Amino acid sequence: MIDSPITLTPQYDRVIVTGGGSGIGRSVALALAATGAHVYVLGRRMPRLEKTVELGTGLNGEITPIACDIRRAEIVDEVFTRIEADDGPAPLLYHSAAAAYAALAEDITPAGFFKVVNASLIGAFHVIHRWGTGLIAAGLPGAAVAVTSALASRETPGIAHSSASKAGVEGLIRSMSREWGRYGIRLNALGPGPFPSEGTNDLWEHDSIRNRMERTTALGRYGTEAEIVGPSLFLLSKYAAYITGVSLQVDGGLRLASYTVHSPEEVAQQTATT
């Protein structure tokens, strides 16, 4: 019989989920709570986090909402210190918090570029670094997933600032996974394709972009938030115990196309009407 760390079902214990007040983060948080995990949902807006708690009523696990501005390292440190006071460092992290808005590169201001990079890349460093160093100090293993984009390595007209951030997060994940593997810490990225959700609808809702997506994506449709939950839980689980430093694209085959969903002309038309 093959010696394996895998059990019949994935095991989740205590999980930190950033961006847990909406979209993919909320869906993953609820799925984790359904398995019986204690999920700490982090976000800037407490009412949204409380809505996640409300939606999780009756699930097997527990959801604890914590207001956290990931753009500020000192606040991230305070929040993680609070979580660690419960029962030590949380062994699992799902980082989905980010910022994005549609704009042509010539219309992005330095302030706008910094706003997106600060929330999406620098914020990711604050969270992943604080989580990982907490585990290292305690001598514990762990697993993290950072949500990036299926287009992080491709041209992305209309979201150059977000594209730069997501590509940076993937580079961060690759480098940290190589360094932290010796501590038993796994880090992977998960790149969603077209998954309309709160906070990203303005990137996908334009009719011409929708039509182009249907021609471009192999499956010919948008994904649903439920369809990203499974891959997310897999990467956090013991089923993925030998996977680290990868970027798993969950995109309906979008990467197989020779051109991207967005075009500069469509973005210009979209941003002119919003």
Task: For residue 248, give the amino acid letter.
Answer: L
Q: How confident is the model at residue 169 (pLDDT cuts 50, 70, 90)?
A: very high
Q: How confident is the model at residue 2 (pLDDT cuts 50, 70, 90)?
A: very low
Tell me, what's the pLDDT at 173?
97
Q: How confident is the model at residue 9 (pLDDT cuts 50, 70, 90)?
A: very low
- Residue 201: count of CB within 10 angstroms of its CB: 10
Q: What angle do CA 138, 241, 179 make, to 5 degrees?
A: 55
> Rounded to the nearest 10 degrees, how much is the dihedral formed by the CA atoms of 154, 157, 160, 165?
-40
Which of 62-76, 95-109, 129-143 is predicted with the least confidence, judged by mean pLDDT?
95-109
CA distance 227 to 149: 15
Residues contacting residue 8 through CB under 8 Å, at least 6 positions apart: none
Tell me, what's the pLDDT at 207?
60
| Domain chopping of the chain, boundaries | 14-272
Considering the entire predicted model, what is its pTM?
A: 0.87
The tokens describing 143, both together, are 């697993």
Residue 126 reports pLDDT greater than 90:
yes
Q: How confident is the model at residue 129 (pLDDT cuts 50, 70, 90)?
A: very high
8-12, 51-55, 96-100, 252-256: range with highest mean pLDDT: 51-55
User: Are the beta carbons of 241 and 10 closer than 8 angstroms?
Assistant: no
Residue 268 reports pLDDT greater than 90:
no
CA distance 160 to 101: 10
Q: How confident is the model at residue 40 (pLDDT cuts 50, 70, 90)?
A: very high
Q: Which stretches within 36-72 are classed as H helix? A: 46-55
CA distance 197 to 19: 12
User: Are the beta carbons of 17 and 94 closer than 8 angstroms?
Assistant: yes
User: Are the beta carbons of 158 and 103 closer than 8 angstroms?
Assistant: yes
Over residues 149-162, the mean pLDDT reads: 76
Over residues 29-43, the mean pLDDT reads: 96
Tell me, what's the pLDDT at 8?
38
Higher pLDDT pick, 231 / 258: 231
Tell me, what's the pLDDT at 160?
81
Matching CATH number, 14-272, of 3.20.20.70, 1.10.8.60, 3.20.20.140, 3.40.50.720: 3.40.50.720
Tell me, what's the pLDDT at 252?
85
Tell me, what's the pLDDT at 203?
54
CA distance 249 to 189: 9
CA distance 204 to 211: 10
Residue 3 reports pLDDT greater than 50:
no
Token look-up 């984009």 returns: 149
Quote the mean pLDDT of the chain: 86
Q: How confident is the model at residue 153 (pLDDT cuts 50, 70, 90)?
A: confident
Task: For residue 11, give the amino acid letter.
Answer: Q
> pLDDT tens for residues 225-236?
889 999 999 999
CA distance 96 to 94: 6
- Residue 271: count of CB within 10 angstroms of its CB: 16
Residue 46 reports pLDDT greater than 60:
yes
CA distance 13 to 83: 13
> pLDDT tens for residues 206-219?
566 666 666 778 88
Residue 253: Cβ-neighbour burial (10 angstroms; 0-12, 13-18, 19+): middle
